[in-house]
Structure 1
């Protein structure tokens, strides 16, 4: 069987992930996960503008959250819904890097497994797919995926120099009734 996008990127390390993280990144075809999230946004006007341009959701506490995954071996599309606020991204592989297109930005992430968690760290960014931005600007952008009490958990942080925090969101997801349309 052809490996999923994350299985291909992580190789043997994929199997060191907690079961709920492996299950989520083992999705083939279409699947829906649902849970709760809390979203914090920065106060800096420039940071707020950047978050808006990237299509990031507004601050909210304990909001119903769902993610619809459309997974193929070479790419995935994630349709996130934070209490009615949509955020979509497309992911694919470029060598050993995960590329995520989010709004006008293309992030290149190095993935690694450490302490029972999957970490995403920025290795490069392009604006509109062509203009490279200094990777050092994105040192405070990361994602951590783990498991708590048998549930998949996530924590995402994005902060930039001069802008401060753009967004920080965290929460949990579990498989929804994937036999029903979303």
Structure 2
């Protein structure tokens, strides 16, 4: 039976085929999945950054340890639940005109996806906070990158807001099962 293409396969088109194998397997998973790995989380830079992190549902404290990641990948949306050592963060991702739109707490982030030497780079194109478009001068500097090494997906996420500082930063890896049945494949 043929599964529909995943959100990331549709958003990236042919560039998806150049992703490192662990990334391609992860972003092609369908249905409910649970992965585990390790994460290092830095605390928000100051009290104002903590308030913004709270509004996003992002981690409030520095922590290091195991991470459990729950994915519910359906054809119309993906729900990502990240169980950090000290907090859980959930977001919903949908496709829109070749982009990925992530709903994270009070924010709606629109990303353009790029493949660079097998890595996935998510470039922030638009940000709405509480439904209001964020002006360009206040838009965060965002790093959202994934690499694949063997069966591990390595991630690095950091958001820094001008005049506020670091709101969120976490990095680590998840182990991607080598026998996972991807979307778009016959079962």
Instruction: Give the 3-state SS of the residue equivalent to 1:59 in structure 2.
Output: coil
Per the alignment, do residues 24 and 135 of structure 1 end up closer, same or farther by CA in structure 2, a change over 3 Å counting?
Answer: farther
The answer to whether the Cα contact below 8 Å between 2:46 and 2:165 also exists between their aligned partners in 1 is yes
Match of 1:125 in 2: 127
- Within 5 Å, which residues of 2 pair with 1:90-169? 90-128=92-130, 130-169=131-170
Give the TM-score normalised by the residue count of structure 1.
0.90
After superposing on structure 2, the runs of 4+ consecutive aligned residues of structure 1 that deviate more than 4 Å are none
The answer to whether the Cα contact below 8 Å between 1:99 and 1:107 also exists between their aligned partners in 2 is yes
Per the alignment, do residues 136 and 118 of structure 1 end up closer, same or farther by CA in structure 2, a change over 3 Å counting?
Answer: farther
Alignment gaps of 5+ in structure 1: 177-182
* 1:41 Cα deviation after fit: 2.1
Match of 1:65 in 2: 67
The answer to whether the Cα contact below 8 Å between 1:32 and 1:175 also exists between their aligned partners in 2 is no
Match of 2:6 in 1: 4
Counterpart CA distance in 2 for 1:138 and 1:64 is: 31
Counterpart CA distance in 2 for 1:122 and 1:159 is: 13
1:99-142 deviation digits (Å, cap 9, x = unpaired): 000001100011100122101111001123x3111245335112
Answer 1 or 2: which has greater strand percent.
Answer: 1
Give the TM-score normalised by the residue count of structure 2.
0.88
Match of 1:180 in 2: none
Counterpart CA distance in 2 for 1:148 and 1:12 is: 21
Q: How many residues align?
A: 176
Counterpart CA distance in 1 for 2:37 and 2:84 is: 10
RCO higher in 1 or 2 (8 Å CA, sep ≥ 6)? 2
Instruction: Give the 3-state SS of the residue equivalent to 1:74 in structure 2.
Output: coil
Match of 2:27 in 1: 25
Per the alignment, do residues 84 and 39 of structure 1 end up closer, same or farther by CA in structure 2, a change over 3 Å counting?
Answer: closer
The answer to whether the Cα contact below 8 Å between 1:53 and 1:103 also exists between their aligned partners in 2 is yes
The answer to whether the Cα contact below 8 Å between 1:158 and 1:168 also exists between their aligned partners in 2 is yes
The answer to whether the Cα contact below 8 Å between 1:122 and 1:138 also exists between their aligned partners in 2 is no
Alignment gaps of 5+ in structure 2: 178-187
Per the alignment, do residues 44 and 61 of structure 1 end up closer, same or farther by CA in structure 2, a change over 3 Å counting?
Answer: closer
The answer to whether the Cα contact below 8 Å between 1:64 and 1:82 also exists between their aligned partners in 2 is yes
